[in-house]
């Protein structure tokens, strides 16, 4: 192929990458908040906790200071008395009660899950059984809430009768400590987050699934899907719950206020395991391939440019190779710009290449998960999976 053809292809990819850069940034533009409510319904916050997430004690402490205008019940749900977070949670609750702060908090021990449930789903079911409030929220243990997110998410939920679940978007907020931090933060902040918001802008912020790090439900919507037990056998229960609520005629709506994820200090093995989980979740959680179009575009253009540049460099055609390298640089720049635009702490300069590492590895991890994955580790447990990445329950 003549060099001029390579230049034309590289120029086309570069133009599309620039347009993608602008599209991602538009997707992050601030949205107006919903109107305040005349009366704020009571909310039970169910927080499953397994192991020790980064800064879990501070997450719990801040999580009790909701700033919510209505009544709040918080349930920290653990498997057993042996959980390492238990003494930290007891300390936080004692502080909360000593200060006579708003809202109640208690610890619930739910026991180990049966074979047809993930640990998270088992904790959610146990928490729902003890919930006393009008609305029910489920909150991941690595989430750092502020004093607005619960109020805004409830306002989003209550704005329309047919909304069954409102969920908050997220941002991996902390300064990266390792190149693995930078790679995983790029995947979440620079691909997952803008992709979700691009979908939301097209669909009036209504989703046929739920991004479930922080989600608030009307009880009627949970009842309409047959309770949380309807998601037994699923690995990614929150995404699947969203499919069921959507099929039952309820809307899942993304709120306009984001939550922080506290996540840093991971090593390459942990980063790989996280990538594998997210890809595995996507197999059963996202029913519409249109959701992934921006992902396919970014990853596809980067990897194609990477291999083409390598091929041209090996064959001594350095100027065309440089043209494709410019495409890679533009895409990496897009990843870093979007990361910062979300409000995440700026990456150190030596971590700017985290995005390039993510995009280079994604195809390999993707195909490994699809072709070879039969088991996945998640929060201290190993789950056997069937060919559809659901829990393998045997005969």
Residue 255, in any domain of the structure: yes
Q: Is the pLDDT of residue 288 over 90?
A: no
Q: How much is the mean pLDDT over the chain?
A: 89
Residue 161, in any domain of the structure: yes
345-386 tens-digit pLDDT = 989 989 998 888 888 888 887 777 766 556 777 677 777 776
Contact 342, 193 (CB under 8 A): yes
The residue written with tokens 């190993």 in the block is 382
pLDDT confidence band for 233 (50 / 70 / 90): confident
Tell me how far apart the alpha carbons of residues 333 and 367 are, in angstroms, rounded to a whole number: 26
Residue 23, in any domain of the structure: no
Residue 170, in any domain of the structure: yes
The residue written with tokens 């083409």 in the block is 308
User: What integer pLDDT is reported at residue 284 of this predicted model?
Assistant: 61
- Better pLDDT: 338 or 381: 338
Residue 333, in any domain of the structure: no
176-205 tens-digit pLDDT = 999 999 998 988 899 888 888 998 998 999
Residue 280, in any domain of the structure: no
pLDDT confidence band for 289 (50 / 70 / 90): low
The residue written with tokens 């927080």 in the block is 47
- Residue among 207, 278, 282 at smallest CA distance from 245: 207
Span 159-163, average pLDDT: 96
Q: Is the pLDDT of residue 280 over 60?
A: yes
Contact 299, 331 (CB under 8 A): no
299-329 tens-digit pLDDT = 889 999 999 999 999 998 889 999 999 999 9
Tell me the pairing of strands 135-139 and 206-207: unpaired
Residue 282, in any domain of the structure: no
Report the CATH number at residue 100. 3.90.550.10
Entry field: residues in the chain: 395
Return the minimum-mean-pLDDT range out of 136-140, 210-214, 283-287: 283-287
User: What integer pLDDT is reported at residue 373 of this predicted model?
Assistant: 59
70-85 tens-digit pLDDT = 999 999 999 999 999 9
- Residue among 172, 215, 175, 167 at smallest CA distance from 193: 172
Span 213-221, average pLDDT: 97
Residue 133, in any domain of the structure: yes
pLDDT confidence band for 388 (50 / 70 / 90): low
Residue-number span of the structural domain to which 74 is assigned: 32-175+203-265
For residues 163-173, one letter each, b for 16 or more C-beta atoms within 10 angstroms of the residue's C-beta and e for the rest, the string is bbbbbbbbbbb
CB atoms within 10 A of CB 272: 18
User: What integer pLDDT is reported at residue 275 of this predicted model?
Assistant: 79
- Better pLDDT: 86 or 292: 86
Tell me how far apart the alpha carbons of residues 103 and 192 are, in angstroms, rounded to a whole number: 33
Total structural domains within the chain: 1
Q: What is the pTM of this model?
A: 0.91
Q: Is the pLDDT of residue 395 over 60?
A: no
pLDDT confidence band for 214 (50 / 70 / 90): very high
The two structure tokens encoding residue 121: 């789903």
Q: How far apart are the first and last CA of the chain?
A: 55
Percent of the chain with pLDDT over 90: 59
User: What integer pLDDT is reported at residue 237 of this predicted model?
Assistant: 80
Span 23-30, average pLDDT: 89
Q: Is the pLDDT of residue 390 over 60?
A: yes
């Amino acid at each position: 192929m003549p060099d001029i053809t390579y230049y034309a292809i590289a120029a086309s990819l570069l133009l599309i990458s620039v347009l993608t850069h602008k599209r991602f940034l538009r997707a992050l533009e601030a949205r107006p908040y919903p109107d305040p409510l005349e009366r704020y319904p009571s909310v039970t916050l169910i927080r499953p906790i397994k192991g020790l997430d980064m800064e879990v004690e501070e997450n719990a402490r801040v999580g009790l200071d909701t700033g919510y205008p209505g009544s709040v019940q918080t349930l920290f749900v653990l498997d057993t008395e042996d959980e390492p977070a238990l003494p930290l949670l007891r300390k936080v609750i004692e502080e909360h009660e000593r200060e006579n702060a708003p809202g109640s908090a208690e610890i619930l021990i739910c026991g180990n899950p049966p074979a047809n449930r993930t640990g998270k789903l088992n904790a959610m079911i146990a928490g729902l059984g003890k919930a006393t409030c009008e609305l029910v929220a489920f909150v991941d243990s690595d989430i750092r809430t502020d004093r607005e997110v619960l109020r805004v998410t409830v306002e989003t939920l209550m704005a329309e009768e047919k909304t069954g679940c409102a969920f908050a978007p997220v941002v991996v907020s902390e300064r990266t400590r390792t190149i693995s931090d930078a790679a995983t933060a790029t995947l979440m902040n620079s691909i997952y987050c803008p992709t979700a918001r691009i979908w939301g802008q097209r669909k009036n912020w209504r989703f046929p699934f739920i991004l479930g790090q922080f989600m608030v439900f009307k009880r009627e919507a949970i009842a309409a899907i047959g309770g949380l037990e309807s998601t037994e056998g699923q690995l990614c229960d929150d995404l699947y719950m969203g499919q069921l609520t959507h099929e039952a005629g309820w809307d899942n709506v993304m709120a306009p206020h984001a939550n922080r994820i506290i996540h840093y200090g991971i090593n390459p093995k942990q980063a790989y395991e996280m990538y594998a989980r997210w890809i595995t979740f996507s197999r059963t959680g996202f029913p519409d391939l249109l959701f992934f179009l921006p992902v396919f575009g970014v990853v596809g253009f980067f990897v194609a440019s990477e291999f083409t540049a390598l091929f041209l460099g090996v064959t001594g055609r350095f100027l065309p190779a440089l043209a494709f390298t410019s495409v890679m640089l533009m895409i990496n720049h897009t990843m870093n710009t979007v990361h910062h635009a979300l409000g995440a702490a700026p990456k150190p300069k030596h971590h700017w290449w985290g995005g390039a590492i993510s995009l280079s590895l994604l195809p390999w991890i993707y195909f490994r998960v699809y072709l070879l994955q039969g088991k996945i580790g998640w929060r201290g447990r190993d789950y056997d999976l069937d060919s559809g990445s659901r829990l393998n329950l045997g005969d």
